[in-house]
Amino acid sequence: MRHPYNRLVVRAVPAMVILAALLSVAAASGSDARTAVDAFVARLGEVNVADLVIEQTLTLFDPGGRHPQSSGEQRVYIKLPRRQRVEQTIDGQKEVRLTVGDRVWVRAPDGKTFEAPPPGTRDSTHLLVPFRRTGADLLAEWKALGVRDDVSYGTRFGDRTVTVIGARAGERTVPQVWLDPERGVVRFVTREKLPTGEAVIDVAFTEHRPLVGGFALPHRQEAYLDGKLVVRVLVRSAAVNSGLDDALFDPDALRRGR
């Protein structure tokens, strides 16, 4: 059976994909968090994104983070501002998870559909959609995830200069957002309460490719739990503004098997 940590991060992956996809527009560099985020939001007006479809492959690793344990496929449908559908198949078991605003419905592998508890900040689509938001809005939403808005610094991420929001130099395990001036968010660190205690989830977004205008999508995401690799996601294809049918996000249609 998959390790419970893996199941937690797999459920978090769609939200992180949204985060990376919808925040992958240029932002200002430098150590001032508000300046960087305000400049980033100002440039979002140049990008017209109504919906997004992503197909990707997941690889889950053993609890030690050394060996692949299982794999699966995901198709993620996003329709702004607050609708998301994730169709996921892992080990031959298919699950569909529908998020509309703050409510979640799940169609389990046995075909039964039920409303799940509120997802919390980890899976809340509205926290990850910056369009039609101010820099203050984004900082407030990140702050709800534990990211401090009063500390930041500039550093290197690979061969690029980024702004780290929510931490001081040398702090690696506190909640923080790494903002690249051209690629948007390239790293997101949060702390999660698990049955075994609090843990650090660190997600890195790399291999960005242009999708539309200045909108870039990371084609590789790797999630670490307390420093150990648990999930790797590789994007196979992505399409923007394809005119998704509203029925995809209809809970009643989900109950009928659509």
CATH T-level topology, domain 4-255:
outer membrane lipoprotein receptor (LolB), chain A (2.50.20)
pLDDT digits 0-9 by tens, 99-131: 988 899 999 999 899 998 865 544 444 444 455
At residue 6 the predicted structure's pLDDT band, cuts being 50, 70 and 90, is low
Listed range (15-24, 45-54, 62-71, 179-188) with the worst mean pLDDT:
15-24
pLDDT on residue 1: 42
Residue 53 has pLDDT above 50, yes or no: yes
Q: Is pLDDT above 70 for 12?
A: no
Q: pLDDT tens for residues 127-139?
A: 444 555 677 877 8
* 38-42, 189-193, 237-241, 248-252: segment of lowest average pLDDT: 38-42
Span 147-178, pLDDT tens digits? 998 899 999 988 888 899 999 999 989 999 99
CA 87 and chain centroid, separation? 15
* Number of other residues whose CB lies within 10 A of the CB of residue 43: 14
| CB contact burial 134-152 (16+ within 10 A = b; e otherwise) | ebeebbebbeebebbbebb
Residue type, 256: R
In 3D, which of 24, 18, 27 has the Cα closest to residue 52? 18
Pick the more confident residue, 12 or 255: 255
Q: What is the pLDDT of residue 24?
A: 45
Q: Are 208 and 224 in contact (CB under 8 A)?
A: no
Q: Percentage helix, strand, coil, to 5, in the chain?
A: 20, 45, 35
pLDDT confidence band for 213 (50 / 70 / 90): confident
Is a pLDDT exceeding 60 seen at residue 97? Answer: yes
Which is higher by pLDDT, 1 or 239?
Answer: 239
Looking only at the bridges linking them, the beta strands covering 103-107 and 215-225 are unpaired
What residue type is assigned to position 55 of the chain?
E
Of residues 157, 179, 150, 152, the one with CA closest to residue 167: 152
Bridge partners of 52, per DSSP, are: 78, 240
pLDDT of residue 44: 63
Looking at the DSSP bridge assignments, the partners of residue 221 are 205, 233
User: What's the Cα-to-Cα distance from 204 to each of 155, 209, 245, rounded to whole Å?
Assistant: 15, 15, 31
